[in-house]
Amino acid sequence: MRITPAGRPEYAHGAHAGKRIRRRRFAHDGGMQRVNTSQSGPVIADHIRRKVIYEGLELEEVGIDLADVTDDVRLFEEDGLNLDSIDALEIVAGVQREFGLSLPNVDQAFIDEHCSTVGRLASMVADRSRANSAPGGAAAGAAPRPESEPGSEPGPDGAAARTGSAAGS
């Protein structure tokens, strides 16, 4: 990143070198309608492409066209859109908000596995939505928390740990 003589930050390297860094803003509208995730994958992918990525990250301002945001374009690689880690977090937040999902353990491995392309994001949203609508409603990959027994306290991993000895105290 570098600062122009006019005092504006701009990208110093990569596919967007010399383009102004935009102030990112996701308008939080409590009355926003969520997308019906029972619809097909292409509908979900199109919503992610348009609302979450293109409009949410204001890609038009850095010279990226909506046509450049395809299902299989790499979002975080130089030969793709070359988005950064802040963009990754904003995409995750946008997906959670737009689709009403909770993605609790977002780390680099999660982003690499589920957020590398629009197609992978759409698949993850569809899978999690199906899991949430299935009986029990547990999100995919979420393990149920073990219930505490009388005389036990939660351990460091959230599992119940016995506080008394088995021989009786």
CA atoms of 48 and 67, how far apart (whole Å):
13
pLDDT in tens, 100-128: 999 888 999 999 999 999 999 999 999 98
pTM exceeds 0.85, yes or no: no
Which amino acid type is present at position 141?
G
CATH superfamily of 35-136: ACP-like (1.10.1200.10)
- What pLDDT band is residue 145 in, cutting at 50, 70 and 90? very low
* Cβ-Cβ contacts under 8 Å for 51 (sequence gap 6 or more): 94, 98
Q: How confident is the model at residue 68 (pLDDT cuts 50, 70, 90)?
A: very high
